[in-house]
């Protein structure tokens, strides 16, 4: 088996540098990312057991990579699931939340060089970050949340089923007099849902009265609700891909003395729905994308991978749940 001295000689550096890198102290010692990657690659090439060194005599650490912007509303659901998973796990694990700027996952050195983590969970990677993950493998196992890439384990909600639940509900209780409200932002998950909703309409010959795009904040939904009221274009049902937009539209209807859920059926898909905020959605029909369950499964999978309980690339799918207002 190769030694630290062998790796150092092959990399043209000192034994101390190799030791720092393989013990996860490369960033602390300001060792360049290029050198950290060179050491990791050479250790693997020479058959050095990096995993046993980094995990010996310590409990696993799971790094959760969380986009810095746009997912604030989803965080309570994710944390709730994470706490449940950690509280019921057969072993004790540490979790660190690592914020990152979408599109810049490549700059997160712990993913690409030996470090202090046993596995990672990457939440809602952007299109640019997916390209990065497809082009290079992370040093330690990485579980993707709400994304699916060949070669990586993942936990995702069935977006296609979510769109079917929303449309079938509206057709059954209201008919086809509906409009769609889609996000105008870059959020990849919301784009997926938008595409599935439109595809489902096409497959079942459903013709919404119109489709609108707007931002993803409550104020954006409120402004769109006011616009629909002023134009006199309220349909019997509104389907929102993003839940905060639906909350804004609901408030606009209330301010106009209309009854959401009675005068206009509001249906939304939600990554934020959980037991602590059900009152916020009491007049909405919600397709719960079950992010609490997604979080539980993702953390459990990461712990299993970090402790070598499993060593595969399972791609788990969570089924959404319709929570009708009626």
How would you write the pLDDT of the chain (326 residues) with one tens digit per residue? 688 889 999 999 998 888 888 877 777 778 888 898 898 889 888 888 765 555 444 578 999 999 887 677 888 899 999 999 999 887 888 999 999 998 899 999 888 887 778 899 999 998 899 999 999 889 889 999 999 999 999 999 998 999 999 999 999 998 989 999 998 866 777 888 888 888 988 988 889 999 999 998 999 999 999 999 999 889 999 999 999 999 999 999 999 999 998 899 999 999 888 777 777 788 899 999 999 999 999 999 999 898 876 677 889 999 999 999 86
Polymer length of the chain = 326
Return the pLDDT at 272: 87
- Residue-range domain boundaries for the chain: 1-57, 159-288
Return all residues near 167 (Cβ < 8 A) that are at least 6 apart: 197, 200, 201, 204, 206, 239
Q: State how beta strands 285-288 and 94-100 pair.
A: unpaired
CB 112 within 8 A of CB 26: no
* Confidence (pLDDT) at 186: 64
Pairwise CA distance, residues 221 & 224, whole Å = 5
Residue 323 φ then ψ, to 5°? -120, 95
Alpha helices (H) along the chain: 4-11, 15-22, 33-45, 50-55, 75-88, 109-112, 127-135, 159-173, 188-203, 218-231, 243-255, 291-306
- pLDDT the model gives residue 285: 95
> Other C-beta atoms within 10 Å of 142: how many?
24
Number of H helices, E strands in the chain: 12, 12
Q: Is 143 exposed, middle or buried (0-12, 13-18, 19+ CB in 10 A)?
A: buried
Report how far Cα 99 is from the mean position of its chain's Cα atoms: 13
Determine how β-strand 142-145 pairs with β-strand 119-123: parallel
**Quick check: 180 and 166 in contact, CB under 8 A?**
no
User: 4 is written with which tokens?
Assistant: 């630290």
- Give pLDDT tens digits for 74-107: 888 999 999 999 998 878 889 999 999 988 999 9
Question: What is the pTM assigned to this prediction?
Answer: 0.79
Sign of the alpha-carbon dihedral angle for 167, 169, 174, 180: negative
- Residue range 1-57, CATH number: 1.10.260
From the options 3.40.720.10, 3.40.50.2300, 3.40.50.300, 3.65.10.10, give the CATH code of 159-288.
Answer: 3.40.50.2300
End-to-end CA distance of the chain: 66
Q: What is the largest CA-CA distance in the chain?
A: 77
Residues 243 and 97 sit within 8 Å (Cβ to Cβ)? no
| pLDDT, position 53 | 56
Residue 325 CB neighbour total at 10 angstroms: 17
| Rounded-to-integer distance, Cα 267 and Cα 193, Å | 14
Nearest-angstrom CA–CA distance, 147 and 315: 10
The closest alpha carbon to 161, from 3, 317, 323, 4, belongs to 317
User: CA-CA distance, 136 to 176, in Å (whole number)?
Assistant: 46
Two domains, one topology: 1-57 and 159-288: no
């Amino acid at each position: 088996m190769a030694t630290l001295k062998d790796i150092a000689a092959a990399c043209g550096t000192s034994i101390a540098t190799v030791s720092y890198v393989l013990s996860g102290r490369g960033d602390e010692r300001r060792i360049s990312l290029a050198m950290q990657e060179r050491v990791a690659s050479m250790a693997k090439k020479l058959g050095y057991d990096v995993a046993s060194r980094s995990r010996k005599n310590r409990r696993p650490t799971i790094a959760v990579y969380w986009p810095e912007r746009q997912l604030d509303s989803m965080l309570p659901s994710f944390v709730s699931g994470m706490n449940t998973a950690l509280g019921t796990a057969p072993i004790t694990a540490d979790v660190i939340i690592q914020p990152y700027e979408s599109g810049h996952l490549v700059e997160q050195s712990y993913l690409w060089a030996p470090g202090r983590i046993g596995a990672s969970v990457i939440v809602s990677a952007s299109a640019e970050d997916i390209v990065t993950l497809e082009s290079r493998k992370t040093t330690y196992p990485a579980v993707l949340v709400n994304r699916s890439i060949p070669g990586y384990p993942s936990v995702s909600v069935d977006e296609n089923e979510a769109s079917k639940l929303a449309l079938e509900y509206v057709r059954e209780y209201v008919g086809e007099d509906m409009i769609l409200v889609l996000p105008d932002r870059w959020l990849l998950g919301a784009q997926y849902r938008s595409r599935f909703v439109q595809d489902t309409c096409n497959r079942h010959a459903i013709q919404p009265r119109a489709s609108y795009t707007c931002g993803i904040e409550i104020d954006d939904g409120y402004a769109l609700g006011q616009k629909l009221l002023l134009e006199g274009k309220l349909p019997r049902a509104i389907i929102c891909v993003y839940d905060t937009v639906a909350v804004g539209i609901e408030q606009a209807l209330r301010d106009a003395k209309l009854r959401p859920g009675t005068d206009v059926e509001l249906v939304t898909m939600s990554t934020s729905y959980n037991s602590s905020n059900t009152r916020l959605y009491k007049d909405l029909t919600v397709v719960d994308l079950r992010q609490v369950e997604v979080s539980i499964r993702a953390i459990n999978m990461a712990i299993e991978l970090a402790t070598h309980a499993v060593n595969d690339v399972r791609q788990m799918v969570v089924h959404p749940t319709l929570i009708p207002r009626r």
